Structure 1
Amino acid sequence: MDVLTEALASMRTGAPASVRTEGRAPWGLRMPPVAGAGFHVVLHGSCWIYPSENTFEPVALGAGDVIFVRDGAGHILADHPDTPAHVPRPDQYTEMRPPIGAVTLGENGPLTSLLCGNYHLDGTRPHPLLKQLPEFIHLPARPGRHPELAAAVTLLRAELDNPRIGSHGIVPALIDSLLLYILRAWIEDQPASTAVGWAAALRDPAVAPALSAIHDNPAAPWTVQSLADRAGLSRAAFAKKFATMVGEPPLAYLTRWRLTTAARLLREEDLPIGTVAARAGYANEFAFGKAFKREYQVAPGQYRRQARTAA
């Protein structure tokens, strides 16, 4: 089981929203906070990025660079840090082939082209993997570094510059893939000798198999001992290592993942509540309903109705 893919899928609540941004210097774009995680890909040209609250110095970006904004925090993109930034006016939006919108701003200087957008993630119960990420991740376009991410950016640029038959399906798939490529690149950039938290857990020879076992079969009657056996460690050593890297004890994470799995089934499948309970590892509907309501503050049936109404 791919733990990274499953963790992100458990939080996804819709397709990514994206806008092609064309700026001719001088230009400044103020991005308000959004629900979920934000991203930017510099397709052509160069620009600067910095947070609205000035929590770090402006960062220069070039063609091929990728930015990931963990919590969709407000920030600014501009041709230069001294350029005033504004939220685009309605008249600056132009039509573009779906599924990408477009905004044009600035004057007559050098052109910068970006793809800006956000992934709709449930921020009310973020997976601990996402919570451990830096607020801003900058992945520079370095030759030979993260070739799959670079290839995805190149393919995306080609489809946006010259839309053809199939682009309507190709572009959303590439944008979806970007999220996994971005997080994979960040995790792999962490030196093995100093990596901590989930960046270490997903590569650790003891913790990674235990996480995969939980994700592969959350309904199994896992115990700390049976997971430790998978990890090849003593019970005490495994429990300590797991809690240090993942951020919570093994059985607490197991419970979290069982209920996360159940919530996803309730949102996406038309299964009887009893079937959802069994797939999440609960012996009966009563035990499942009690645990689910403690975590989500509503009963499973009500949660399903609310999720379907919101969609």
Structure 2
Amino acid sequence: MDVVSDAIAAVRAGEPSSNRLRVSGTWCVRLSPYEGAGFHVVLRGACRLLPDGGGDPVDLGPGDVVLLPHGAGHVLADRTATAAEARRAVPFERVRDTGAGGPRTGPDVELLCGKYRLDRSRAHPLMAELPQVVHLPHRVGGQPELAAALDLLARELDERRPGGCLALPSLLDLLLVYMIRAWMARARTGAWPAVLTDPVTTAALRALHSDPAAPWTADRLAAEAGVSRATLARRFTTLVGRPPMAYLTWWRLTLAAIRLRDSDAPLATVARETGYGSPYALSHAFSREFGITPGRYRERGGSGVRAS
């Protein structure tokens, strides 16, 4: 596994959902904050997104994609909408199935609006670093795979062919990967786009994520990255924000939490898969990190624990 795949897999929970929104004329709908990530794809027409909290409006055109990775509340409206008008927005749930809109004074607008269910209790720092609103304009070049995924998604929605119940959620999952890739390619700030372009840090992360249960030491990891132990420690800590072995401990416990939440594997199996020599060793480290024993964590379905 690579870091981006692992970062997404660590927080994904359940299947994504989506709805079409068809409106025309003067319209304004509100989407409440959500414990996950939201996205919109403009299939036809143009509209405006107004984030909660007074953020700058984002004008969207045909083919544009917008990701709200932290589930921020926002308003979608016609391109003339103002912040004052947004306060009178109709709840999205009342509009999505009816196609309601005001007088037909402008072109029809069609959007694909969806949500990804996320478990934020152990969010990877890459995911936590994403901005509140990620706007990916259609006119921006260099992301042909995103355009291809959108084309496949539109075809699947339009034609409703056999197997669509499997194809659609898979394409939505693929869309999430491509949106995050596109953000990383365009990002001018943030640590993780820089982390994953640094060859030394990337080599170390790839090794840790490929085999987290291996008996890693600082010397062995430095050899894997092709540098001295001091060089790896300096570059890794500067970019990632914690030393390599501290990151490994955090990631092993994150993987253990996912296994406890999503499977009924015995604690001994979870310990072996995450690099701990015994269930006791895992339980001790897990309790120190989470403030709860692995057994209680599993009983609660992975909820009610502190995040770090």
TM-score, shorter chain, exceeding 0.5: yes
Q: What is the count of residue pairs matched by the alignment?
A: 298
Q: Match of 1:123?
A: 120
| 1:298 corresponds to 2:292 | yes
Q: Match of 2:255?
A: 261
The structural deviation recorded for 1:295 is: 2.1
Single out whichever of 195-204 and 285-294 deviates more from structure 2: 195-204
Asked if the contact 2:43/2:111 (under 8 Å) is kept, the reply is yes
Taking every aligned residue pair, what percent have the same amino acid on both sides?
Answer: 47
The structural deviation recorded for 1:288 is: 0.6
Q: Match of 1:173?
A: 170
Superposed, 1:99-118 pairs within 5 Å as: 104-107=99-102, 108-109=104-105, 110-118=107-115
| 1:147 corresponds to 2:144 | yes
- Name the amino acid aligned to 1:306: R
SS of the aligned residue for 1:40 comes to: strand
Asked if the contact 2:67/2:133 (under 8 Å) is kept, the reply is yes
Q: Match of 1:25?
A: 25
| 1:64 corresponds to 2:58 | no
Question: 1:141-186, CA deviations, whole angstroms, 9 ceiling, x for partnerless residues?
Answer: 0274311101111111122223222222111111111110001111
Asked if the contact 1:196/1:245 (under 8 Å) is kept, the reply is no
Structure 2 CA distance for partners of 1:89 and 1:174, relative to 1, 3 Å: closer
Asked if the contact 1:24/1:111 (under 8 Å) is kept, the reply is yes
Q: Match of 2:7?
A: 7
SS of the aligned residue for 2:99 comes to: strand
- Name the amino acid aligned to 2:229: R
**For the aligned residues, what is the CA RMSD?**
2.1
Structure 2 CA distance for partners of 1:72 and 1:91, relative to 1, 3 Å: closer
Asked if the contact 2:297/2:303 (under 8 Å) is kept, the reply is no
Q: Match of 1:44?
A: 44
- Name the amino acid aligned to 2:221: L
CA distance in 1, matches of 2:141, 2:93: 40
Structure 2 CA distance for partners of 1:60 and 1:237, relative to 1, 3 Å: same
Structure 2 length-normalised TM = 0.90
Question: 1:234-264, CA deviations, whole angstroms, 9 ceiling, x for partnerless residues?
Answer: 2122112111221211111101110111112
CA distance in 1, matches of 2:37, 2:93: 23
**Alignment gaps of 5+ in structure 1:** 95-102
The structural deviation recorded for 1:53 is: 1.1
- Name the amino acid aligned to 1:281: G
Question: 1:180-222, CA deviations, whole angstroms, 9 ceiling, x for partnerless residues?
Answer: 00011111224xxx76511122222111111111111111121
Structure 1 length-normalised TM = 0.89
Q: Match of 1:74?
A: 73
